[in-house]
Amino acid sequence: MNKPYRKTIEKIVEGVLFSSSTVTSITVIFIIIFLFNEGIGLFRSKPVEPGYFLAVNKENPVKKLSAEQIDLIFNQDVTNWKKLGGKNDTIILLTLNNATTYFNEDSLGTNLEHLPEKINQFVNSSSGVIAFFPETYQPINFRGSIIPIGNVKVGEFLTNKNWYPTNQPAAQLGILPLILGTLWVSLGAILFALPLGLATAIYMAEVADKRLRNILKPIIELLAGIPSVVYGFFGLVVIVPLVQKLFNLAVGETALVGSIILGIMALPTIITIAEDAILTTPQSLKEASLALGASRWQTMVRVVIPYAKSGIAAAIILGIGRAVGETMAVLMVTGNASVIPHSFLQPVRTIPATIAAELGEAPAGGLHYKALFALGIVLFIITFVINLSVDLLKSRSRKA
């Protein structure tokens, strides 16, 4: 092959590689922009269904209600204004669904044209009333007090404990149980996978002979290729009944089962990366330790593992990343209960499982839809922090 022709081929290959990397980078950037654009829209939205107004009697001292308080009222869990900081007065709900309870159908008109006037009169005359109607029925000269509904706040979104995104009239969008459930299951997975994975990596790198290592390594790497739904099915059929029977539980779908399944799924990552890190230990260090009288096991513990600690830490963090982002297996075995976890023997719900379970039912552009994308942002930040930690550990390892 002559030199000009070879240079032309090299230029073409270089152009293809550059185009591929550029397209990939731009695609990733567009995905991130799309995620943030959809998710941040949640914090420009109100938790109450758009196009409605909420009003009380003008003499009512309660002038502000949270989404949680609104739900308590409409679910009749709170029936007196005193519990909400108002007077000792019974709460009277007035909505489009129960308007005929308080007004004669004939007086409302054939097309409810007299409903705004009736709402105005009722709200003005009843001290305990709270009215919730479409804005088309809001009286022109309204004599009640409109309850202002603020936009969803970031702090409340992250710290509130109730996740009811489809509640009417006010959605409750607290993701604290989802964040803690994700971290809880991931912590359990690492506590399960770390000792087993690290022990296996040390055995394969330092103890096992070459023939056994060549058998074990493909088998372990094969675990990474098994679809997550298969792990989930295995957990649902085998581990869930076992845990339920062993701990005498009402249901076996718990954080413990999710942790075990995720731990098994994280094992290939931990073992492979930790083994590679251990194998990078210079032979001269091992020989020097042995020459000074250290045993083989003392050399492993005091020389090999400290030398490879950055790589082992990277393996652990990547294992956590694998656990945090898992969807299908967790969805199948954790029970999907949006509660703050206090034990590994109770059901939990994770962020990825919530997105997978609910996104198909969320109307595009609606409050629920935006809330799920905001959950995606939280998950992205968690995984980004994990990946950043890996990069920092790798750079520290290179400097060492």
Strand partners, 172: 164
| Euclidean distance between CA atoms 181 and 199, whole angstroms | 28
What's the confidence (pLDDT) of residue 393? 66
**Whole-number Å distance between alpha carbons of 326 and 353:** 8
**56 touches 144 (CB < 8 A):** yes
Residue 75 DSSP class = T
- Identify the bridge partners of residue 146 per DSSP, sorted by sequence position: 55
pLDDT at position 1 is 54
pTM of the entire predicted model: 0.85
Residue ranges of the domains in the chain? 3-44, 52-149, 176-399
Q: How far is CA 214 from the centre of its chain?
A: 38
pLDDT at 2: 63
Alpha carbon distance 52, 34 (integer Å) = 29
The per-residue pLDDT for 397 is: 57
What pLDDT sits at residue 316?
Answer: 82
- What is the structure's pLDDT at 58? 92
Please tell me the predicted confidence (pLDDT) of residue 179: 94
Q: Are 45 and 131 in contact (CB under 8 A)?
A: no
The answer to whether 377 touches 212, Cβ cutoff 8 Å, is no
| Domain 176-399 architecture | Orthogonal Bundle (1.10)
What pLDDT is recorded for position 280?
86
What count of residues does the chain have?
A: 400
52-149 and 176-399: identical CATH topology: no
pLDDT value for 92: 93
Q: Does the N-terminal peptide bond of residue 47 adopt cis geometry, omega within 30 degrees of 0?
A: no
pLDDT, averaged in runs of 10, over the chain (400 residues): 73 85 91 92 88 91 88 90 91 91 87 90 92 90 88 91 89 93 90 90 87 86 85 92 92 92 90 88 86 85 85 82 81 89 92 90 90 94 82 64
Name the token pair of 12.
């073409």
Kindly give the residue spans of alpha helices, DSSP state H, lying in the chain.
3-40, 67-74, 99-102, 105-108, 115-125, 154-159, 176-202, 210-223, 228-234, 240-246, 255-279, 283-291, 296-299, 305-307, 309-324, 328-333, 351-358, 367-399
Position 378 scores a pLDDT of: 94
The secondary structure of residue 164, as a DSSP letter, is E
Angle (CA) 279-284-286 rounded to 5° is 65
Residues 6+ apart with CB under 8 A from 346: 254, 255, 335, 337, 339
CATH fold of 52-149 = D-Maltodextrin-Binding Protein; domain 2 (3.40.190)
Residue 306's pLDDT is 85
Cα separation, 393 vs 189, whole angstroms: 21
Contact 34, 28 (CB under 8 A): no
Q: Give the per-residue pLDDT at 290.
A: 84
